[in-house]
């Protein structure tokens, strides 16, 4: 079976979508600026080794803990 340019292009588009979704999910949990990290992850997905490295980095990073000041009661 030969791999032609059409199949390679389709696999690349599928890779872009899947890796961007994974990076977006991780960025939402792990960073304070998930949109910016997702855009950077999408750009990094054009070079698969960069997006894999970004996924590994985000997976290893500790979860971000947000403090909600609106729920605090004032005396």
Q: pLDDT of 33-63, one tens digit each?
A: 999 999 999 999 999 999 999 999 999 999 8
Considering just the CA atoms, what is the radius of gyration of the chain in Å? 17
- What the block records as the tokens of 1 is 């079976």
Question: Which runs of consecutive H residues, i.e. helices, occur in the chain?
Answer: 5-30, 34-44, 48-60
Separation of alpha carbons 12 and 5, rounded Å: 10
Question: pTM above 0.95?
Answer: no
């Amino acid at each position: 079976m030969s791999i032609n340019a059409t199949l390679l292009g389709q696999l690349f588009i599928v890779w872009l979508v899947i890796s961007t979704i994974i990076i977006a999910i991780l960025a939402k949990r792990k960073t304070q600026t998930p949109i910016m990290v997702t855009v950077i992850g999408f750009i990094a997905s054009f070079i698969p080794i960069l997006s894999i490295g970004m996924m590994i980095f985000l997976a290893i990073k500790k979860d971000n803990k947000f403090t909600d000041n609106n729920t605090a009661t004032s005396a």
